[in-house]
Amino acid sequence: MLSGGATTFQKTNPDVSLSRESYSQAAVNLSIGQRNKFALGNAFFTAPWQPESSVESSRTGLGPLFNAAACQDCHIRDGRGHPPTESLSESSVLRVALINGEPDPIYGHQIQTRALPGFLPEAVPDIYWQNSSVALADGETISMRKPFVVLEQLHYGPLADGHGLSLRVAPAMIGLGLLESIAASAILAGEDVGDSDGDGISGRVNRVWSQETSATVIGRFGWKAGQPSIRQQSLLAFQQDIGISSQLYPYQPCTSVQTDCLASQSSIRPELSDEIEEVLLFYASHLAVPARRWHDRKEVLAGKALFHTLGCAGCHQPSWRTARLDNHPVLSEQLIWPYTDMLLHDMGEGLADGVSEYSAQGNEWRTAPLWGVHLAKAVGGAEVGFLHDGRARDFKEAIMWHGGEAQASREAWASLKRDDREKLIWFLKSL
Q: What are the backbone angles phi and psi of residue 273, rounded to the nearest 5°?
A: -75, 160
Q: How far is the CB of 124 from ligand HEC (least distance, A)?
A: 15
Q: Would you count residue 293 as binding ligand HEC (CB under 6 A)?
A: no
CA pair distance 266, 114, nearest whole angstrom: 18
Q: Which is nearer to ligand HEC, 234 or 258 (CB)?
A: 234
Helix (H, G, I), strand (E, B) or coil at 275: helix
Choose the stretch contacting ligand HEC; rule: CB under 6 A; options: 21-29, 136-144, 155-163, 408-416: 408-416
Q: Which is nearer to ligand HEC, 183 or 324 (CB)?
A: 183
184, 349 contact by CB (below 8 A) = no
Strand-pair partners of 124: 152
Strand-pair partners of 9: 290
Per CB under 6 A, the list member of 406, 423, 426, 430 interacting with ligand HEC is 406
334, 390 contact by CB (below 8 A) = no
Query: Residues 71-90 vs ligand HEC: string with x where CB under 6 A?
Result: x-xxx---------------
Q: Considering only residues 166-195, where is the footprint of ligand HEC by CB under 6 A?
A: 168-171, 176
Q: Would you count residue 386 as binding ligand HEC (CB under 6 A)?
A: yes
59, 69 contact by CB (below 8 A) = no
Q: Which is nearer to ligand HEC, 299 or 405 (CB)?
A: 405
| Side chain identity, residue 83 | P
Choose the stretch contacting ligand HEC; rule: CB under 6 A; options: 17-25, 118-126, 182-190, 230-238: 230-238
Q: Would you count residue 97 as binding ligand HEC (CB under 6 A)?
A: no
CA-wise closest residue to 110 among 151, 51, 72, 147: 151
Q: Which is nearer to ligand HEC, 234 or 430 (CB)?
A: 234
Helix (H, G, I), strand (E, B) or coil at 252: coil
398, 404 contact by CB (below 8 A) = no
Per CB under 6 A, the list member of 107, 320, 371, 395 interacting with ligand HEC is 395
Q: Would you count residue 279 as binding ligand HEC (CB under 6 A)?
A: no
381, 82 contact by CB (below 8 A) = yes
Per CB under 6 A, the list member of 14, 409, 423, 426 interacting with ligand HEC is 409
Q: Which is nearer to ligand HEC, 208 or 387 (CB)?
A: 387
Q: Would you count residue 347 as binding ligand HEC (CB under 6 A)?
A: yes
CA-wise closest residue to 79 among 341, 342, 335, 374: 374
Strand-pair partners of 399: none
333, 323 contact by CB (below 8 A) = yes
- 387 exposed, middle or buried (CB, 10 Å; 0-12, 13-18, 19+)? buried
For residue 240, the 8-state DSSP code is I
Q: Considering only residues 122-151, where is the footprint of ligand HEC by CB under 6 A?
A: none
Q: Would you count residue 272 as binding ligand HEC (CB under 6 A)?
A: no
Q: Would you count residue 426 as binding ligand HEC (CB under 6 A)?
A: no
CA-wise closest residue to 30 among 7, 10, 8: 7
Residues lying near ligand HEC in the complex (CB under 6 A) are found at 67-68, 71, 73-75, 91-93, 168-171, 176, 201, 221-223, 226, 230, 233-234, 237-238, 241-242, 284, 310-312, 314-316, 345, 347, 351, 365, 367-368, 373, 386-388, 395, 398-399, 402, 405-406, 409-410, 413, 424, 428
